[in-house]
Structure 1
Amino acid sequence: MKRLFVISLFIIISFNSIAVEEQLSPYNVINNTGNNLFTRIATEQELLKTSPEVMIEIVEQELMPAIDYKYAAFKILGKHLKKMSKVQKQNFIISMRSYLVKTYATALNQYNNQVVSFEPERPTNGAKIVPVDAIISNINAPDITITFQMRQNRKSKQWKAYDMIIEGVSLLATKRAEINSRIAKSDIDQVTLELAVIRK
């Protein structure tokens, strides 16, 4: 339950691909996307009550094109990358993306009008990796600060998220440890298959 809540917090401030443009800073990307995402969810509320699977469509359209899932997948694989073929790498990326879509959709269906505030704009000073904070406020619960690791693509110059840190715990590092453990018990092809078929 706690894990689902953490994932939910990640989604609450996730990223809308339509709004991502070269001139947007990582701070603007988060702010604009948070507003766009939850406007969409509010608009679809009645439909979501009877058809929660619609959240998959929202995730596909509003989140995934702006999540740096390829970079995250490679960071998760770490040392295993050197031993993998090109096909194995591509299959893992596809499976990781599928896993994230289902995870995000499940988490967003738990959304209950939390209030989100975003870190104000500030200079990035040419950095390509920038941490951006957001605060989740819940009634009768302490505020939670989440740090998003934003990465700027060298070619497109777009900023996308590849990790989040909450209460000092990196979700990417947690997933990397889990994947490494599973690979040690079987192999990369089996883990890739398992990720693709997991239903959240």
Structure 2
Amino acid sequence: MNRRNALHAVAAFAGAALTGLAGVAHAADEAPDALVRRLSGEVLETVRNDAALKGGDIGKIMALVNKVIMPHVNFRRMTAAAVGPGWRSATLEQRQRLQDEFKTLLVRTYSGALNEVTDQSIVVKPLRMHADDKDVLVRTEVRGRGDPVQLDYRLERTPGDGAGWKIYNLNVLGVWLVETYRSQFAPEVNARGIDGLIDALAARNQANAARSK
């Protein structure tokens, strides 16, 4: 697996995990490394066995996203971190628009890489944590042909009705997803404010949709 294909394979898995292709939620007391191991297996198996997903069928991917509402991802936190300080002053309507457009951006960004998923496997490294930890780092490797590729997850323990571990950031080859998007979003927010960022994301998503036709 050369570097380009490895990156596509990791992107495909990361995008699939973020967009909720991983089935039903399990017990709230599921350990974070067990959660990542289960999601890894389910996502890769789902993609391998579904030609439409491997082909990047946006409609089917989005239907699955909306159906399961990304049960294993704190997408509000992920979006807020990517937007940065401007999130605090955003209205509820603006925050919802940001989440919707950011989700669409992620789905479209990674959907084209789904056809790269073939014989990859995910190895979850031993987890070091204490029983009362509320924030953990789960390190994994994507293995196939060629060198293994680093893919790490930041998860938080969530209380209440949705109790359990939820992903809020991903690290691919040393690059954190949220920080990468924050660096892209910051100039737009500084220049045109939150509405400017929403408009830019919507335009980017429309352009991506037009290219995929």
Aligned counterpart, 2:78: 72
Aligned counterpart, 1:8: 12
2:100 partner amino acid: I
Given that 1:19 and 1:33 are in contact with CA atoms closer than 8 Å, whether structure 2 keeps it comes out as no
Q: Secondary structure of 1:101's partner?
A: helix
Aligned counterpart, 2:148: 143
Q: Distance in 1 between matches of 2:152 and 2:142?
A: 11
Deviations 1:64-93 (A, max 9, x none): 332221110111122112322222122212
Q: Distance in 1 between matches of 2:12 and 2:54?
A: 18
**Cα–Cα, structure 1 residues 92 and 11, in superposed 2: closer, same or farther, change >3 Å?**
closer
Q: Secondary structure of 1:21's partner?
A: coil
Quick one: percent identity of the two aligned structures? 19
Q: Distance in 1 between matches of 2:56 and 2:198?
A: 29
Aligned counterpart, 1:111: 117
**Cα–Cα, structure 1 residues 4 and 49, in superposed 2: closer, same or farther, change >3 Å?**
closer
**Cα–Cα, structure 1 residues 49 and 75, in superposed 2: closer, same or farther, change >3 Å?**
closer
Deviations 1:125-178 (A, max 9, x none): 311111001111131x21122211011212222211111123322111111111
Q: Distance in 2 between matches of 1:90 and 1:49?
A: 29
Q: Distance in 2 between matches of 1:51 and 1:172?
A: 23
| 1:52 matches 2:23 | no
Aligned counterpart, 2:186: 180
Aligned counterpart, 2:157: 152
TM-score norm. by structure 2 comes to: 0.77
Which one is further off, 13-22 or 27-36?
13-22
**Cα–Cα, structure 1 residues 49 and 179, in superposed 2: closer, same or farther, change >3 Å?**
closer
RMSD: 3.0
Q: Distance in 2 between matches of 1:49 and 1:36?
A: 14
- 2:99 aligned residue (64, 81, 93): 93
TM-score norm. by structure 1 comes to: 0.81
Deviation at 1:18, TM superposition (A): 0.9
For structure 2, the 5+ residue unaligned runs are none
For structure 1, the 5+ residue unaligned runs are none
Q: Secondary structure of 2:159's partner?
A: coil
Deviation at 1:112, TM superposition (A): 2.9
Deviations 1:113-135 (A, max 9, x none): 32221224664431111100111
Deviation at 1:100, TM superposition (A): 2.2
Q: Distance in 1 between matches of 2:54 and 2:13?
A: 20
Given that 1:20 and 1:159 are in contact with CA atoms closer than 8 Å, whether structure 2 keeps it comes out as no
**Cα–Cα, structure 1 residues 124 and 116, in superposed 2: closer, same or farther, change >3 Å?**
same
Q: Distance in 2 between matches of 1:196 and 1:121?
A: 39
Deviations 1:40-63 (A, max 9, x none): 222213x45677344444555578
Given that 1:68 and 1:160 are in contact with CA atoms closer than 8 Å, whether structure 2 keeps it comes out as yes
Q: Distance in 2 between matches of 1:101 and 1:82?
A: 25
